[in-house]
A = this chain, B = another copy of it.
Amino acid sequence: MADMTSKISAGLERAFAARGFAEPSVEDLRDAAGVSLRTLYKYVPSRADMVLAALENRHQRYLSRIFDGLPDVPEDATDEIFARVGSWMATETSHGCLFHAAVAADPNSARLRALLERHKAEVASRAAAATGLAAAETELLVIIEGLTQAWPICGEAAAEAAKRLGHALRISLG
């Protein structure tokens, strides 16, 4: 069932986001997914795969929450992206990026690294397209990453700082 797969992925994402990657036992993950241990292992054959399934789910949710239905005017889209990243941090994650956290928890996993790079590459390229700042894709990524990591420390002030950096960048590009 596709139902089962997405129910499990969503539950896993919630569990890892709330409690980190090290702490939850597979039995905790089973509770979060709302299925039996046997079924959980049928759809997701190891704990490492549970991490990947959770991140796959988050990737999709993040992209649609940040980039769907942005304003057409590039200046407005830029501010809106940073505002949405701030709101994402406020409601979904109290501490940093879940992809970086997963890699930090298991730095030797090549699959995890690959997923992180795919996620960030897509975020950067969509941001470049929506803001019309294609010549400054790396700068946009730096701002988004910085906002994400600074949020747990500075809160809303980080989003305001990101917007000001976006304006400064646009001006300096002429």
Chain A interfacial positions (CB closer than 8 Å to B): 19-23, 95-97, 100-101, 103-108, 116-117, 120-121, 136, 138-139, 141-150, 153-154, 157-158, 160-162, 164-165, 167-169, 171-172
Contact A142 B168 (CB under 8 A): no
The dominant DSSP class at the A interface is helix
Chain B residues whose CB sits within 8 angstroms of the CB of A167 once the complex forms: 172
Contact A105 B171 (CB under 8 A): no
Contact A95 B103 (CB under 8 A): yes
Known contacts A136-B164, A138-B150; 16 additional CB pairs below 8 A are A20-B107, A95-B100, A95-B104, A95-B107, A97-B149, A100-B149, A104-B105, A117-B153, A138-B161, A139-B165, A141-B161, A142-B158, A148-B149, A165-B169, A168-B168, A172-B172
Q: How many copies does the complex hold?
A: 2
The listed residue with most B CB atoms (<10 A of its CB), out of A142, A149, A150, is: A142
Contact B153 A165 (CB under 8 A): no
Contact B145 A141 (CB under 8 A): no
